[in-house]
Amino acid sequence: MDISLSQIRGIGPARLKAFEAAGIRTVRELVMFLPSQYRDLTHTVPLCELKAGDVAAVRVRVAGEVMERRARRLLITKLYVTDDTDTVQVVWYNQPWLKKQMTPGRELLLYGKVEHKQGYISLVSPSIESNEGMLPVYRSIPGIPAKALRQSVEAALKLCEGQWPDELPEPLRRRYGLCERNFAMRNAHFPDSPEALEAARRRIAFEELLLYQIALRLFRNAGHAGVRMEFDDGAPDRFWERLPFAPTGAQRRVLSEVAADLRSEKAMARMVQGDVGSGKTAIAFAAIALACRAGWQAALMAPTEVLARQHYEGAKALLGDMGIRVGLLVGSLTQKQHRLAHEAIASGEWDVAIGTHALITEGVEYRRLGLVVTDEQHRFGVRQRTLLSEKGDAPNVLVMSATPIPRTLSLILYGDLDISIVEELPPGRTPVATRIVPEAKREGLYGFLRQEVAKGRQVYFVCPLVEESEAVEALPAEKVYEDLRVNRLPGLRIELVHGRMKPADKDAALERFRAGEADVLVSTTVIEVGVNVPNATVMVIENAERFGLAQLHQLRGRVGRGSHESWCFLMAEPNPRLKFLASTTDGFKIAQKDMELRGPGELFGTRQSGTLTAGIGSLAANAELLKLTHDEARLLMENPEASEARAVIALARERFADRLRDVAVN
């Protein structure tokens, strides 16, 4: 199974290179590249039952001639299809060969998304299927067409048929009703039935999650010696006394946990997780102050230059008064400023270095690094956090996350970290009122925005797209920006920010908004993790139905940061999901609901890419496996010398050897 992909017919040098770029080099690795989803072609839906938002298979025949037209860079192909119940429109983009194929009366099996376009129900870019059943759909690999990828996997499966050893102990498999490994691998790709698919995915997910959690426990039990800091019991309280506000009980508790870590002989690996506005940054600054007072350097990494500068200003104001020297290292510094920053870090002239990921690049050397704080998007996997130790003598690591995650999910995502939750919001934090605004009430919204700006407040507009797309029915940021500037809110100072802009231009626009030089900021989700603008009191989210609940909650958290009444307007037709968001501001409840609605796999995204090969993507809606595997890993590690435990531990060491390489193999 560890033979080269070149042994598979149809994989030539170009495709071999494409597979290698995706991290797939052997037949085994290709078989472990599991489908991200499946097209259920086992039953078709009558056209009369289609509703916007459905993803469905339909058996139809072509009614009438094909219509083509060009719009911008798109060739749009339209036709009507019918069955015995109704007639609907089908739309494809940039597929010129379809015109010759779509002859009137031809029967088709189509699979795709149903959208409401221009007042009619339409099938948009459906695939044309030749076989019924359950068809695997894989994450796309550049340079390899979807059909060729599916054929390559099928060929790899045939080469491996019957060769997968069942390495999980049989008593454990029986205990949890897990199917045989060869059955699982075949049915995970080309299932015989929905029931076979469920059994296959459960088996693979269970094994992956169990072994991953065993490996994490091995990593943590290795007890890496770290930087031990000396300070007395009253140091955390003295820090809080220096602040202009009283900390919450949760902040005091979490700082006590962090302080205990810093004083222990084992390197700290802790996540401080809390809702937007819960005061995590104050805890991070407190940890930095404790480290610097004990004679160590600290580094704080932020995901963007704007946020790094914001942290720098906050730290300079707070920590500077305590005699702690704070410096900034970001990409936009001049060559001379970079050189001076490197020298200040290496000599120890800076007690704290604040910046972007440049802080841990090869050219930066620290004199006595004892603490690394990473903010929000820097959710490093185990291996990356381990690599940070090369910047010092196993520095303590503190990870801050403003994305609430259900506790069971945290155990899997961040099993190598201790987790502290800041569950209280400081008194005086302004709750954000959330309203769903259908299109019919849009005009009234603009009047409200003018009133807010007249009071001296600022407004965010967030859009799902950068520019207009024929394929997606949603308001793009560029169009909203022009419409506001010319028609809706003329005379106001309006800025535009999106991910395709040059970083310097984007940061400059964000800085103007933060400085109060703009009234309205039109943006894509690049501001989801962004600047702190206490004067911004309104968040308008266009096409809110296109965002996940957790993401909507994150965007909502951009406002309500000052003492003024704040609002979040969800531009969409009301639905149960958006009504739930409007009913609560509890990020953990929202995250739990998001997991129930979308499945755990969606919440993982690419964050832990390369850490779990298949299990997370296979979870679908089976969150029960998270708890089962967590509990089983704990039981096995309580008696590691038992024969069953020894077998599973050996398998975990082998499976995750390259990712958890610091765990000694006994």
Three-state SS sequence of 598-634: HCHHHHHCCCCCCCCCCCCCCCCCCCHHHHHHHHHHH
Q: Are residues 159 and 28 in the same domain?
A: yes
* pLDDT for 663 beyond 50: no
pLDDT range class, residue 604, cuts 50, 70, 90? very low
- Proportion of the chain above pLDDT 70, given as a percent: 88
Q: Give the count of domains, the chain.
A: 4
Residue 246 is part of a domain; what is its CATH number? Answer: 3.40.50.300
Could you tell me which residue, 655 or 111, shows the higher pLDDT? 111
Last-in-domain residue among 534, 558, 584 = 584
* pLDDT for 282 beyond 80: yes
| Highest mean pLDDT (candidates 272-281, 343-352, 463-472) | 343-352
pLDDT range class, residue 659, cuts 50, 70, 90? low
Evaluate whether residue 501 is within a structural domain: yes
Q: Are residues 577 and 534 in the same domain?
A: yes
Evaluate whether residue 197 is within a structural domain: no
Residue 71 is part of a domain; what is its CATH number? Answer: 2.40.50.140
Q: Are residues 298 and 366 in the same domain?
A: yes
pLDDT range class, residue 666, cuts 50, 70, 90? very low
Could you tell me which residue, 286 or 36, shows the higher pLDDT? 286
Evaluate whether residue 379 is within a structural domain: yes
Could you tell me which residue, 496 or 476, shows the higher pLDDT? 496
HSE-CB of 635 using CA atoms within 13 angstroms: 9
Q: Are residues 251 and 390 in the same domain?
A: yes
pTM over 0.85: no
* Region of poorest pLDDT, from 71-75, 80-84, 500-504, 615-619: 615-619
373 phi, psi to nearest 5 deg: -110, 125
* pLDDT for 618 beyond 80: no
Nearest to 187 by CA among 177, 197, 202: 197
Average pLDDT over residues 494-520: 91
Average pLDDT over residues 518-543: 87
Average pLDDT over residues 375-379: 56
The answer to whether the beta carbons of residues 131 and 111 sit under 8 Å apart is no
* pLDDT for 434 beyond 90: yes
* pLDDT for 13 beyond 60: yes
At residue 222, the pLDDT reads 65
Average pLDDT over residues 525-554: 85
Residue 32 is part of a domain; what is its CATH number? Answer: 1.10.150.20
Q: Are residues 446 and 460 in the same domain?
A: yes
Evaluate whether residue 326 is within a structural domain: yes
Q: Are residues 258 and 366 in the same domain?
A: yes
Evaluate whether residue 550 is within a structural domain: yes
At residue 387, the pLDDT reads 57
Domain that holds residue 472: 432-584
The per-residue pLDDT for range 65-107, each reduced to its tens digit, is 999 999 878 899 999 999 989 999 999 999 999 999 999 999 9
Evaluate whether residue 269 is within a structural domain: no
Average pLDDT over residues 414-427: 80
Is 508 exposed, middle or buried (CB count within 10 Å of its CB: 0-12, 13-18, 19+)?
middle
Q: Are residues 437 and 368 in the same domain?
A: no
DSSP-derived secondary structure letter, 178: P
Nearest to 60 by CA among 137, 120, 121, 129: 129
Evaluate whether residue 360 is within a structural domain: yes
Last-in-domain residue among 520, 554, 584 = 584
pLDDT range class, residue 621, cuts 50, 70, 90? very low
Nearest to 568 by CA among 550, 588, 553, 589: 553
The per-residue pLDDT for range 441-462, each reduced to its tens digit, is 999 999 999 999 999 999 999 9
Q: Are residues 561 and 521 in the same domain?
A: yes
* pLDDT for 651 beyond 70: yes
Q: Are residues 497 and 525 in the same domain?
A: yes
- Proportion of the chain above pLDDT 90, given as a percent: 53
What distance in Å separates the CA atoms of residue 630 and residue 636, rounded to the nearest whole number? 10
Could you tell me which residue, 589 or 173, shows the higher pLDDT? 173
What distance in Å separates the CA atoms of residue 198 and residue 188, rounded to the nearest whole number? 8
Across 294-440, the runs of DSSP E, i.e. the strands, are: 297-301, 326-329, 352-355, 369-375, 396-401, 418-422, 432-437
Q: Are residues 257 and 375 in the same domain?
A: yes
* pLDDT for 597 beyond 90: no
Average pLDDT over residues 292-298: 96
Last-in-domain residue among 560, 584, 608 = 584
Evaluate whether residue 300 is within a structural domain: yes
What is the amino acid identity at position 249? G
Q: Are residues 460 and 364 in the same domain?
A: no
Sheet of strand 536-541, all strands in order from the earlier edge strand to the far edge: 432-437, 566-571, 536-541, 458-462, 520-523, 494-497
* pLDDT for 47 beyond 90: yes
pLDDT range class, residue 376, cuts 50, 70, 90? low
Q: Are residues 344 and 392 in the same domain?
A: yes
* pLDDT for 223 beyond 70: no
Dmax (CA) for the chain in angstroms is: 84
pLDDT range class, residue 429, cuts 50, 70, 90? confident
pLDDT range class, residue 264, cuts 50, 70, 90? very high
Average pLDDT over residues 207-226: 78
